[in-house]
A and B are shown apart, each in its own frame.
Chain A
Amino acid sequence: MSELTLMLIRFAYLAILWIFVLSAISVVRSDMFGARIETTPRAERREQKRAAKNRPKPAKRPRGAPTHVLIVDGANAGETISLDDAPLLIGRGSDAAIRLDDDYVSTRHARIAASGDQWFVEDLGSTNGTYLGTQRLSQPATIQLGTTIRIGKTTLELRK
């Protein structure tokens, strides 16, 4: 076997070794940057559809109408939730739009919905009831700007 062939084999082998090392490193690299973020395409599409459906709504709403719900008191005090996604489900469950960390709130406790330019709150058969001011609701009631809704130990208000 000639000297030249042996030298070629020597360098070829070192090249193979390093090609292996570099491709292992590139797999490590793509493992770091290439992992996809946890959003399924379907959930994304649904999100977009919902956003598209809700977008025209604020335009229809007259000036002076409430735009968001403010949590005045309770475990989640200070949070605001936009009314654009109405109807809003209030409760402790994971599917609630206004999710309250309050042991006295039912999983699906109440709902805020719009009818025309009126806003309604409706109790969904909760354990501890929904109060508008001091009155326990037995049927859907309209709510005005600044009326306090009490759910468990949490109070909410509609705000402009």
Chain B
Amino acid sequence: MSSVNPLRGFTHRRRRGAELFLLILSLLVGVGAYIAVGVGVEGAVPADFIGYGGWLAVLCVLCHVVVRVVAPYADPVLLPVVAALNGLGLAMIHRIDLAELAENPDANTFARDQLIWMTLGVITFIGVLLVLRDHRRLQAFTYTSGLAALVLLVMPLLPVLGTEINGARIWINVGPFSFQPGEVAKVCLVVFFAGYLVLHRDALALAGRRFAGIDFPRGRDLGPILVMWLVSLGVLVFQQDLGSSLLFFGLFLVMLYVATERPGWLVVGSTLFAAGAYVGYLLFPHVQARFDAWLHPFSSDSSYQIVQGMYGQAWGGLVGRGLGQGDPTLIPFSYSDFIVAAMGEELGLTGVMAIIVLYGLIVERGLRTALVCRDAFGKLVATGLAVVFALQVFVVVGGVTKLIPLTGLTTPFMSYGGSSLIANWAIIALLLRISDQARRPLPDLSGPADDDATQVVMVR
């Protein structure tokens, strides 16, 4: 990680107009999906689309105005991309609701809740932008947020607070709501890792010995990575949550690599991960079941969901059945973990490719922010947040398309789930805050700064 800015003499423009233009297009994507669902399912343009579109427009305009006022140099692409993904996810959840209601008038519906969660997410986004005026202040909370992350991770294991839903113990009950603290924990972990690595990266990077052409770290510097490995193994063992354990460990590994520029960490970390995964496979039946369902989906009895998802995507083909024309209710949990399969069924490969490119854009803008950012802490936080998105989308889409064993993680911004949605909106707010700092032109410091006192020649 070099501190020299290659972009000196290069001023970023504010680009708020471009952001507004993209936001309008993203509204078209969201509201268009809603209308297409209505036409596909009920044969008529839904009567309430003006109210629905109006509400989305209000949320978008609110975000835009706040960004314009408090973060005028922030990245212009992130917010519209997120708005489009969220709108698309809402329309798909609404579409699955309609199909469920057609079968059973008393079925649970999720779209309305998701819209409320999106509103809360936008409020969180605005709140983070308003309260946090400089991301460097977060560095003071390095260990606080590390502790918060640990507490959040342990919370679901507590006897009264935690609940087990569908085999994974990652929820806690707060009154009528259930809440996934792991989603908030990942933001805290990014802040903690960044703060920790900024202070300790020199020790981690410079000390060590060379073996087989790769610099390996010193034994005593292995402490933090071992702790992190144990934490993610603990998540795997006690909460039976493969996805989060993969996410946390992968995040730590990538941040360590970015901070130290030492491929040795990747070798050590990958070995640890492979060992952990193998032991997990030997010891825990639920991990074995995941692997079985991945390797032999058509002969395993725990792979119904994957097989249904694959049939759905195959039926969708290149251009999909059309919104409202498919049958995504055949896939269990098509509104949350398997929303990508439902998208594949109704929008086809063309639509899923667009969605993946949009996620790629979020990651690219995050890494871009890290490149342009002037302080090491901001660089690491932006990298970490971008990597969270990249890993999460890879794990979910890879699992649904049977590239890797299926692990339960939410698809950011699309699948149903309040904690995930709010945490991801907060992540976008953080990225915008860092990119605003990074792209803001440098203040003019030439002049009095170098006019310090002249030393007097001693004349004997």
Contact = CB atoms under 8 A, between A and B. Distances in A.
Interface of A: 1, 5-7, 9-11, 13-14, 16-21, 23-25, 27-28, 30-31, 34-38, 92-94, 103-107, 126-128, 152
B39 A23 contact: no
B39 A9 contact: yes
Given A6-B325, A14-B348, A31-B13, 7 more contacts: A10-B319, A14-B351, A21-B357, A27-B18, A28-B77, A36-B11, A38-B9
A28 B9 contact: no
Contacts of A93: 450-451
A11 B319 contact: yes
Interface string B348-364: 10110010011001001
B57 interface: no
Contacts of B322: 6-7, 9-10, 13
Nearest to B445: A94
Given A6-B39, A92-B450, A107-B451, A17 B351 contact: yes
B36 A9 contact: yes
B446 A94 contact: yes
B51 to A, nearest CB: 21
Contacts of A28: 77, 361, 364-365
Interface of B: 9-13, 15, 18, 21-22, 25-26, 28-29, 32-33, 36, 39-40, 43-44, 76-77, 80-81, 84, 88, 319-323, 325, 347-348, 350-351, 354, 357-358, 361, 364-365, 441, 446-447, 450-451, 454-457
A19 to B, nearest CB: 7
Contacts of B354: 14, 17-18, 20-21
Given A10-B320, A24-B80, A105-B454, A35 B358 contact: no
Nearest to A18: B354
Contacts of A127: 454, 456
B454 A107 contact: yes
Given A11-B319, A20-B84, A36-B13, A27 B28 contact: no
Contacts of B446: 94
Given A10-B323, A20-B22, A128 B457 contact: yes
A5 B26 CA distance: 23
A92 B448 CA distance: 11
B323 to A, nearest CB: 6
Contact of B10 (A9, A30, A38): A38
Contact of A24 (B77, B319, B325, B451): B77
Contacts of B84: 20
Nearest to B7: A35
A27 B15 contact: yes
A93 B10 CA distance: 25
A92 B451 contact: yes
A94 B450 contact: yes
A14, A37, A106, A127: which has the most chain B beta carbons within 10 Å? A14
Given A6-B40, A28-B77, A94 B447 contact: yes
B450 A27 contact: no
A19 B21 CA distance: 12
